[in-house]
Structure 1
């Protein structure tokens, strides 16, 4: 598989099946939460493909890493196709935490369970897109904005005030974001997204995964 090839839903789920098979052979069930573009590929029609899979290993971390490395080689996937870069913005279980909902069990053929995939609420994904702080010349800025506007349509969180409230819920412990006051950078970004939303005329996307509050109690 070429290093620059994007991962579509079939490629991602085929890899999940392979991970699940190896895990079940070892007598374990892996739990993983999927975020970012890969979550949008799996759980909605916002994206057709993603450059990588942003995952957080919720259990058996060391074995999960070894199994993912093995599947990467066996299926000739790009190095880093699955990574935990999102972990710094996805709080672990506790308070606060993203509202994780079970998405799918793998393998999909009904054989011994080896992998459970969880996804956050779309509201939490929106908060992550708003929080993203890429360099001004990073090409992914445009993709982040497009994703954010689609998630605004999906969730109805489409005003400056609603987005600030969402950020307070999802990231109350990161100073300089919206607490104690909205930072200048964050304020400009939110206003820009609201302007993009108001100027967009695309249809509202579909969400096929579980729904819930942005944060779990």
Structure 2
């Protein structure tokens, strides 16, 4: 999904919420944030989110998937496995019945390090982008950001090695 498609689907989601007279919020993470906020990617395969009311938004997501021939997991809450923080998220965009929130860049970097998958994922590219965006020049600076949110021992060894290789001490 491209940025304009993500925004279109949120617009449709808002209309469907309005029809039901329901208000909702969505905390967005992952590749969708990289597209929407940082414009560092052209697209993302899905929208990782924590949202309320869950059951209503899941129903609406299925409707949108069927109407627009999207993958059934285009809008999902699998990110909950990583227990992301939502309290400090900032409002990104608001409609009549829908509010979209995104994490601070520092938290996004720490979460990417915590949840990174190597291989087909774009997590490494995202980490490199966020290192530059946050002006992190040393491994110790990266550790300082990560440790604001996670215990360094929770970060996989290969991620730590990658950051050490990219940044040096």
Q: Quick check: TM above 0.5?
A: yes
Q: Map 1:51-62; keep pairs closer than 5 Å.
A: 51-57=45-51, 59-62=52-55
Q: Map 1:83-102; keep pairs closer than 5 Å.
A: 83-91=76-84, 93=86, 97=87, 99-102=88-91
**Superposed displacement of residue 115, structure 1:** 1.0
Of 38, 41, 50, which residue of structure 2 is paired with 1:47? 41
**Conservation of the 8 A alpha-carbon contact between 1:160 and 1:191:** no
2:60 matched residue in structure 1: 67
**Superposed displacement of residue 92, structure 1:** 5.2
**Conservation of the 8 A alpha-carbon contact between 1:149 and 1:197:** no
1:130 matched residue in structure 2: 113
Name the SS for the 1:50 alignment partner.
Answer: coil
**Superposed displacement of residue 43, structure 1:** 0.5
**Conservation of the 8 A alpha-carbon contact between 1:152 and 1:197:** no
Q: Which has the larger helix fraction?
A: 2
Q: Distance in 2 between matches of 1:9 and 1:47?
A: 9
Q: Distance in 2 between matches of 1:64 and 1:52?
A: 15
Of 97, 117, 120, which residue of structure 2 is paired with 1:139? 120
Larger RCO (CA under 8 A, 6+ residues apart): 1
Q: Map 1:11-30; keep pairs closer than 5 Å.
A: 11-30=5-24
2:153 matched residue in structure 1: 176
Name the SS for the 1:55 alignment partner.
Answer: strand
Of 93, 96, 99, which residue of structure 2 is paired with 1:104? 93
RMSD in angstroms over aligned alpha carbons?
A: 2.1
Q: Map 1:195-206; keep pairs closer than 5 Å.
A: 195-196=165-166
Task: Mark the structure with the bigger radius of gyration.
Answer: 1
**Superposed displacement of residue 130, structure 1:** 0.9
1:4 matched residue in structure 2: none
CA change 1:133–1:47 in 2 (3 A) is closer
TM-score (norm 1): 0.70
How many pairs align? 168
Name the SS for the 2:129 alignment partner.
Answer: helix
TM-score (norm 2): 0.88
Spell out, residue by residue over 1:162-214, the C-alpha distance to the aligned partner (whole angstroms, 9 max, x if none). 22222221124xx8326xxxxxx43x52342243357xxxxxxxxxxxxxxxx
